[in-house]
Amino acid sequence: MNQIESIRFMKALRKIKDAGISVWAIYTHAFYHTQGFENIIGRNNFWGVIKPHRWPGLVTVKAIKEYDASDAKVVSTTEFADWETIDEALAFYLKRIEKDYDSSWKCKSCAYCFLFGLEYWDKDSIYERRLIDAYEFIRHDPEIGNDFEHYV
């Protein structure tokens, strides 16, 4: 785990902590997609957000490995959205959750409900189960827990 990036992300969560949103869920989602904050896309893309159509912001191009219909591994380049600051990234992320993930947004204060509502964020058929497993790991990791209490 990249503790410096993890703490940088935690500090940004302070600003939304009182908005009634589970900061643990948002942290877990970012932790999962960045493999412990080791693989952040560009500057501040913590969730693998692909560049939306007519995106006016920063773009990071990255080669990704996927499987095609015949289960063969293929490499393609993808344009990902990026942001100057974590605050901008979080604002976009929360707007996207509110707009496209109604079940997550309706119970945004509960980490479990929030994460289960993200089932279509990824193509993985057990995606939400993987997020819950990551959440359980994070919540019981003493180092992350201590940092979370201190920085968020």
What average pLDDT does the structure give for the chain?
93
- Considering only CA atoms, which of 2, 18, 3, 1 is closest in space to residue 152? 18
Separation CA 110–CA 47 (nearest Å): 19
**Per-residue model confidence (pLDDT) at position 71:** 79
> How far is residue 81 from each of residues 10, 33, 117, measured CA to CA in Å?
21, 14, 22
Q: Burial level of 147, CB count in 10 A (0-12/13-18/19+)?
A: middle
Model confidence over 49-103: pLDDT tens digits? Answer: 999 999 999 999 999 887 777 878 888 899 999 999 999 999 999 999 999 999 9
**Per-residue model confidence (pLDDT) at position 99:** 96
**Per-residue model confidence (pLDDT) at position 138:** 94
Binned at pLDDT 50, 70 and 90, residue 17 comes out as: confident
Model confidence over 125-142: pLDDT tens digits? Answer: 899 999 999 999 999 999
Q: Is the pLDDT of residue 149 over 80?
A: yes
Residue pair 121/131 in contact (Cβ under 8 Å)? The answer is no
